[in-house]
């Protein structure tokens, strides 16, 4: 048969790296379009910008999404921290687009101000891939989805 396989072989990413899979397998996937905006804005100004020009400030729902965002900001000339769609309201951290907060990337040990923030009630992602709570009035670059 001309050396062409009957079933296409594709690849998927796993926690152990790339793996070959049959073209007939059904595999879950997600698309994440991240736009790094290199304009310094307050958290609320960034939210308005993302809502008007894209979808919203990004939610980082998994380690994979955090790594993708981290990769995008490492390659850009952006502030050390960038705004993400994380906000402390009432008594808990919430994603502004309504996504559930099931994954977190707060730093281990050290400053635990994020547990009950008084002044720093907006979330940012650092170039090291951890979240920081920062005063919402600070002006940072940001990442939209």
Model confidence over 85-127: pLDDT tens digits? 999 998 899 999 888 899 999 998 766 778 888 889 999 999 9
CB 37 within 8 A of CB 52: no
Q: Is residue 16 part of a domain?
A: no
Domain count for the chain: 1
Q: Is residue 12 part of a domain?
A: no
Q: Is residue 44 part of a domain?
A: yes
User: What integer is the mean pLDDT of 126-130?
Assistant: 94
Which of 2-11, 74-83, 103-112 is least confident? 2-11
First to last CA, the chain: 45
Q: Which residues pair with 101 in a beta bridge?
A: none
CATH number of the CATH domain containing 126: 3.10.100.10
Q: Is residue 15 part of a domain?
A: no
Residue of 126, 120, 29, 18 whose CA lies nearest to 69:
126
pLDDT level of residue 15 (50, 70, 90 thresholds)? low
Q: Is residue 46 part of a domain?
A: yes
DSSP secondary-structure letter at 21? E
CB 143 within 8 A of CB 84: yes
Model pTM score: 0.78
Q: Is residue 84 part of a domain?
A: yes
DSSP secondary-structure letter at 2? T
Which of 22-26, 47-51, 87-91 is least confident? 22-26
What is the domain range of residue 49?
Answer: 35-144
């Amino acid at each position: 048969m001309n050396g062409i396989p009957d079933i296409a072989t594709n690849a998927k990413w796993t926690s152990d790296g790339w793996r070959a899979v049959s073209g007939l397998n059904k595999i879950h996937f997600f698309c994440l379009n991240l736009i790094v905006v290199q304009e310094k804005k307050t958290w609320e100004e960034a939210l308005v910008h993302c809502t008007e020009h894209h979808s919203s400030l990004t939610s980082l729902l998994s380690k994979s999404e955090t790594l993708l965002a981290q990769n995008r900001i490492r390659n850009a000339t952006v502030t050390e921290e960038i705004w993400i769609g994380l906000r402390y309201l009432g008594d808990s951290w919430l994603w502004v687009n309504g996504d559930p907060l099931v994954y977190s990337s707060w730093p281990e040990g050290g400053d635990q101000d994020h547990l009950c923030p008084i002044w720093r009630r907006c979330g940012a992602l650092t170039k090291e891939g951890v979240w920081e709570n920062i005063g919402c009035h600070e002006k940072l670059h940001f990442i939209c989805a």
